[in-house]
Amino acid sequence: DQQVKQNSPSLSVQEGRISILNCDYTNSMFDYFLWYKKYPAEGPTFLISISSIKDKNEDGRFTVFLNKSAKHLSLHIVPSQPGDSAVYFCAASGVSGAGSYQLTFGKGTKLSVIP
Amino acid sequence: DGGITQSPKYLFRKEGQNVTLSCEQNLNHDAMYWYRQDPGQGLRLIYYSQIVNDFQKGDIAEGYSVSREKKESFPLTVTSAQKNPTAFYLCASSMQGQDGEQFFGPGTRLTVL
């Protein structure tokens, strides 16, 4: 059963507009959430994160919102640029029984920013 | 520069052969991880290691083996028992006890012929 869900496999947005990528999770023990960006045939790169004690974190054009009661987070990119075109993975973290932090990833959303 | 290296970038293997994928990091990270990515899928955890000489199975460990003899190195062996080994393999590392953030290598694309 998927604990982290990204229900939109793809998203197309015009350059300059806002991109909103969504992510839902089911495990209430997750306490830290991350977004990664991935280009084809490359490793993911960390984009932005948020702790469960916050509801918003902003870094330049990127903002992540967390709604704990709904178990939902979203990534906003404003304004969107063609270079933002990539696959975005949502990941959730919680301490495992072995005491380590493990990440659980969603399946990703492919963002295409149209010039 | 500090980072994670994986070699080779592309790897071809004949069915029935074992193959070892390399992962090296010079970030002084305690924890290292191996993931597999298939088309349309997220990253699935194969094995992870929190400390030298210790490692744990992830969600899809069957058909894989690892070793952690040095802090910097975490090689993954894809054995002939792995039924569907063609995939993109990613290695990652993190500081022990840090809030989840993992740093990824560039990946190895394994194709079984």
Strands (E), B8-71: 10-13, 19-25, 31-37, 43-51, 54-57, 64-66
- Between CA A22 and CA B56 the distance in angstroms is 31
A103 neighbors B100 (Cβ within 8 angstroms)? yes
Rg of chain B over all Cα atoms, to the nearest angstrom: 13
Listed residue (B112, B88, B92, B17) closest to B48, CA to CA: B92
DSSP per residue, B62-84: TTEEE--SBTTB--EEE-TT-S-
Chain A interface test: which of B29, B37, B55 (most A C-beta within 10 Å) = B37
Which residues neighbour B101 within 8 Å (Cβ) at sequence distance 6 or greater?
A34, A46, A49, B94
Q: B53: buried, middle or exposed (CB in 10 Å: 19+, 13-18, 0-12)?
A: exposed
Q: What is the mean pLDDT of residues A59-78?
A: 97
Q: Report residue A94's pLDDT band, with 50, 70 and 90 as the boundaries.
A: confident
Q: Using CB atoms, which residue from B88, B102, B105 is nearest to A103?
A: B102
pLDDT score, position B42: 85
The answer to whether the Cβ–Cβ distance between B41 and A107 falls below 8 Å is yes
pLDDT score, position A99: 57
pLDDT score, position A41: 85
Q: How many CA atoms lie within 13 A of B86 on its CB side?
A: 8
Residue B23, token pair as written in the block: 């992962």
Residue of A nearest to B6 (CA): A43
Residue B10, token pair as written in the block: 């592309």
Chain B interface test: which of A46, A49, A102 (most B C-beta within 10 Å) = A102
- Between CA A10 and CA A109 the distance in angstroms is 5
pLDDT score, position B6: 96
Inform me whether the pLDDT recorded for A96 exceeds 80.
no
Inform me whether the pLDDT recorded for A1 exceeds 90.
no
pLDDT score, position A93: 87
A87 neighbors A108 (Cβ within 8 angstroms)? yes
The answer to whether the Cβ–Cβ distance between A98 and B50 falls below 8 Å is yes
Q: Report residue A70's pLDDT band, with 50, 70 and 90 as the boundaries.
A: very high
Q: What is the mean pLDDT of each run of 10 residues along chain B (113 residues)?
A: 87 92 95 91 91 92 96 95 92 77 93 90
Q: What is the mean pLDDT of residues A49-63?
A: 95
Number of other CB atoms surrounding residue A78 within 10 Å: 13
pLDDT score, position B1: 62
Residue A89, token pair as written in the block: 């993975």
Q: Which of residues 42-81 of B touch A (CB under 8 A)?
A: 42-45, 48, 50, 56, 58
Q: Report residue A100's pLDDT band, with 50, 70 and 90 as the boundaries.
A: low
pLDDT score, position B109: 95
Q: B46: buried, middle or exposed (CB in 10 Å: 19+, 13-18, 0-12)?
A: buried
